[in-house]
Structure 1
Amino acid sequence: MPCVHPRITPGGGKVGRKAGLGYGARTMRFSFVHAADLHLDTPFRGVATHGPLLERFQQSTFHALARIVDVCLRERVTFLLLAGDLFDVKDRSVRARLALRTELSRLDRAGIQTFIVHGNHDPLSGDTGTLGLPASVKVFGPEWEDVEVRRDGRRLCHVQGVSYPDVEVRENLSARFRRTGEHFSVGLLHANLGGDAGHANYAPCTAADLAAGGLDYWALGHVHTRAEHLLPGGGVAVYPGNPQGRHVHETGERGCVVVDVEDGVARRRFVPVDRVRWHRLDVPLAGVTSLDMLQAVATEVVESRCAEDFDGHAVRLTLAGRGPLHRELARPGARTQLEADLRERLARAHPPVLLESLRDGSRPEVDLEAVRAEGGFLGTLLDDAQALAHDEAALTALWDSEHLTKLGQRLKRLGVDALEVPRPELVAQAGQRGVEQLHEEAS
């Protein structure tokens, strides 16, 4: 008897192959949840090792897992897919393993299967084997496997997968996958599709590689930003992103994907499950003339974006724009003292807000157009910088100069590659900053 699946959030898409599907595949409906990169028991970066908010953050990955299971139960899905990095480190904590067993046992009691592959953070070599999982849980090993999923004695679909035997896997594991029948086929894999520069290039593959396997849905993990890739031939590769942001570079809503399959077509819906949300916010300084006003503006910015009722929010604030407070903020210790005051204020908010950091991006009040119109040394500096930024030959010569080359080599050793190629915007910005500094010193 087909299940009725209420919508949770609007949006999503559909993809699938209808040609060649057998009678059973055409008439049977089913749904599943796809999640990845749980990173259970992660040590949060940017969160103080003590304080009232620490416990909320430490519990957030476990709460996200529980909410994924809640979605499975509410949607009455057939199975859950977990695409690697369930744990944050190879030597997974006892607390994390117990939490995983507890939540998957809830699915087991409801007759919902779970399929798991392990990735670079939680390879098979890190499993001590001292904690069992319910019989309804299939953990794929280091060799590719294909599993039939059945309901009421009828074949429903195929789920294929392979786990990382150890941390570093450089092989294109997707090449092992292949369609084995006419029914809907899912590939469960922890991989870097298209060489995403923000993640280690483990199990690298291309869209063409995935399409060659002939599968309908690739349930991927590893990349923490939600994304969908339509494949040649009609399949789709999906990254659900991680279900709980762990630092300031993982902002916005985080969750899992519900997939409804009917007539070989997969319709996808994203469902947020995070309970602590990260934000990067600018605090505008235009018209702000006092520290009291700055505190009020910063608080208003945070409250406008962090009003949703979560276990907590975390923010990085950047003071942005030109204003009379620039000189005050430039005094030794000023930003640090302001940051400490705001951190204390925001922690008392409801819901509580963790201030990850306060960055000073303020600029002095200088009318650059007026400076340019006045001419003189400062106007000439602005004009020359602007001209250089638009002179390709001169810009190349500058980048190839001995002093800049040496500076570039030093920065490269520190992991900075800003000087690898000519950057016109940096030259224009340097001219503006020079004028601002000289104007400040003359004031």
Structure 2
Amino acid sequence: MKFIHTADLHLDSPFLGLKNHSLPDDLWEKIHQSTFDSFQKIIDEAINDQVDFVLLVGDLFDREERSVAADAFLMAQLNRLKDHEIDAFISFGNHDYSTADPSSFGYPDNTHVFSNQVETKKYRLENGQVVAISGFSFDKQWITDPMIQDYPQAFSDATWNIGMLHGSLSTLNSPEANYAPFTLNQLEEKGYDYWALGHIHKRQALNKQGTINYSGNTQGRHINETGEKGFLLVESDGGQLTSHFQSTAPIIWDFMAVSVAQQPVKQLAELIMSQLADQHFDQLHLLRLQLKSDQQLDSELLGQIASGELLDAIQQINRDKWRQLNCWVTSLKAPVEKNVVYSAIDQTYFNQARDETLTDDAYNQILKAFDKQPAFIKDELNQTDIKQSVFDTASAILRENVVNEYDKEDGDK
């Protein structure tokens, strides 16, 4: 037996915050097309490897109201599988939840969609082996009930038992309890041969045997989703199943450290771009640059970094050279300044004021302003790395204001 485990395609992802006046139109088209291209490669691999079936474990679409283009694209890929006699099993997740009758989607007859209640679909392989695949589709954005309780025990009359579950490994009192929470023990107690998980975008195995897996998403959508993305190819070896990752994402998000020095913004941008030219990327990269300096940068340059002036200068050069460099700089992270203010006592008070101001409670209060916005926006802002980036930027602004006040007081003396 051989099958593909994939999840979190997020077809037609909007790639929030990327498009601006500097981003070339042809590069934007590549970025926007990347979720489609990655999935098409997965279907190519399914056909080339002659797999028995494909598991699509939730969030095929980026939002409930899927675009016509995304819907038509998925249909075309499912028909490609049908042409090669490969079945597909689909469960919808928290982004593309649906209460519609699965038969109303008009998918080809090789495609099996799970309803909103846990159910089991049995599939017979050409060699006569029976595969019992259990799963369900989200009927709303948040499911706090532990749906794992509704999954049946492994069927004794099946050769292989597989679970499809879009949800979070979590305790019931955590934020992730909104997404069909489960524990590792609950999965293991079902006695299945393999658990195909979705929702968490970081590829990972939850057990030593590597049979309870998040495949991760198929294309990174922001800087918190770095590295290669793709799918898991799962194969039987005797009575065991083993999985192997295969990369399909055309674009890689990554961090890169670059050295900077005190100099005018234009020259600094050219220095940074020369460091990127030395990388010789063989695949398109979207980068966040971590600026590092051996010397203390003055408040004016730090202000130009915080305001986006340096990033704009970099992107203006990048605009004409992105194909040659095979990369695009999306954001900058300012150097970490050890000495923020002028004395140890002032530093202590500054750190105390900063820590009392930049708190999780304060951040959560700000997030309430997004309650009426699409849920995926708030989900992205709630990412740990994005929150830390907001805190770092706020801290840099505080620092700049403190230094300016000191400079002003010195001038008044």
The TM-score by the shorter chain falls in which range?
A: 0.7 to 0.9
1:345 aligns with 2:297: no
1:149 aligns with 2:123: yes
The answer (yes or no) to whether the contact 1:82–1:116 under 8 Å persists in 2 is: yes
Aligned match of 1:269: 244
Report the 3-state secondary structure (helix = DSSP H, G, I; strand = E; otherwise coil) of the residue aligned with 1:270: strand
The answer (yes or no) to whether the contact 2:170–2:177 under 8 Å persists in 1 is: no
Matches within 5 A, 1:6-25: none
Report the 3-state secondary structure (helix = DSSP H, G, I; strand = E; otherwise coil) of the residue aligned with 2:178: coil
Q: Out of 258, 264, 272, which is 1:283 matched to?
A: 258
Aligned match of 1:326: 298
Q: Which amino acid aligns with 2:217?
A: N
- How many residue pairs match? The answer is 376
Q: What CA distance in whole angstroms lies between the structure 1 residues aligned with 2:175 and 2:251?
A: 22
- Greater CA drift, 119-128 or 221-230: 119-128
Distance 1:126 1:283, change over 3 A: farther
Deviations 1:327-347 (A, max 9, x none): 441356885332222112223
The answer (yes or no) to whether the contact 1:214–1:235 under 8 Å persists in 2 is: no
Deviations 1:310-331 (A, max 9, x none): 3xx3222232334364344135
Q: What CA distance in whole angstroms lies between the structure 2 residues aligned with 1:334 and 1:380?
A: 26
The answer (yes or no) to whether the contact 1:190–1:222 under 8 Å persists in 2 is: yes
The answer (yes or no) to whether the contact 2:162–2:196 under 8 Å persists in 1 is: yes
Aligned match of 1:222: 199
Deviations 1:164-220 (A, max 9, x none): 122221111112222012522110111111259785731000101111111111101
Matches within 5 A, 1:93-108: 93-108=67-82
Aligned match of 1:14: none
Q: Which amino acid aligns with 2:14?
A: P
Cα deviation, residue 277, structure 1: 1.9
| Greater per-residue helix proportion | 2
**Which ranges of structure 1 fall in alignment gaps of 5 or more residues?**
1-29, 372-376, 390-394, 419-425
Q: What CA distance in whole angstroms lies between the structure 1 residues aligned with 2:222 and 2:13?
A: 10
- Greater CA drift, 206-215 or 190-199: 190-199
Deviations 1:45-70 (A, max 9, x none): 12216733221111111101101101
Q: Which amino acid aligns with 1:414?
A: I
Aligned match of 1:202: 179
Report the 3-state secondary structure (helix = DSSP H, G, I; strand = E; otherwise coil) of the residue aligned with 1:193: coil
1:193 aligns with 2:169: yes
Q: What CA distance in whole angstroms lies between the structure 1 residues aligned with 2:358 and 2:194?
A: 49
Deviations 1:90-144 (A, max 9, x none): 1111111110011111111111111111111111226797652111111111222
Q: C-alpha root-mean-square deviation of aligned residues, in Å?
A: 3.9
Q: Out of 372, 378, 386, which is 2:343 matched to?
A: 378
Aligned match of 1:46: 17
Report the 3-state secondary structure (helix = DSSP H, G, I; strand = E; otherwise coil) of the residue aligned with 1:114: strand
Cα deviation, residue 224, structure 1: 0.7
Cα deviation, residue 42, structure 1: 1.2
Deviations 1:329-386 (A, max 9, x none): 135688533222211222322255333223433648x7x9xx9xxxxx835666x78x
Report the 3-state secondary structure (helix = DSSP H, G, I; strand = E; otherwise coil) of the residue aligned with 2:343: helix
The answer (yes or no) to whether the contact 1:92–1:126 under 8 Å persists in 2 is: no
Q: What CA distance in whole angstroms lies between the structure 2 residues aligned with 1:160 and 1:220?
A: 12
Aligned match of 2:188: 211
Q: What CA distance in whole angstroms lies between the structure 1 residues aligned with 2:170 and 2:358?
A: 33
- Greater CA drift, 208-217 or 344-353: 344-353
Deviations 1:286-310 (A, max 9, x none): 6x65546522442244345571233
Aligned match of 1:294: 268
Matches within 5 A, 1:32-111: 32-48=3-19, 51-111=25-85
TM-score under structure 2 length normalisation: 0.78
1:336 aligns with 2:287: no
Identity percentage of aligned residues: 29
Q: Which amino acid aligns with 2:312?
A: A
Report the 3-state secondary structure (helix = DSSP H, G, I; strand = E; otherwise coil) of the residue aligned with 2:155: coil
**Which ranges of structure 2 fall in alignment gaps of 5 or more residues?**
368-380, 385-391
Q: What CA distance in whole angstroms lies between the structure 1 residues aligned with 2:79 and 2:244?
A: 25
Report the 3-state secondary structure (helix = DSSP H, G, I; strand = E; otherwise coil) of the residue aligned with 1:186: strand
- Indicate the structure whose relative CO is greater, using CA pairs within 8 Å and at least 6 residues apart: 1
Distance 1:407 1:289, change over 3 A: closer
Q: What CA distance in whole angstroms lies between the structure 2 residues aligned with 1:83 and 1:153?
A: 25
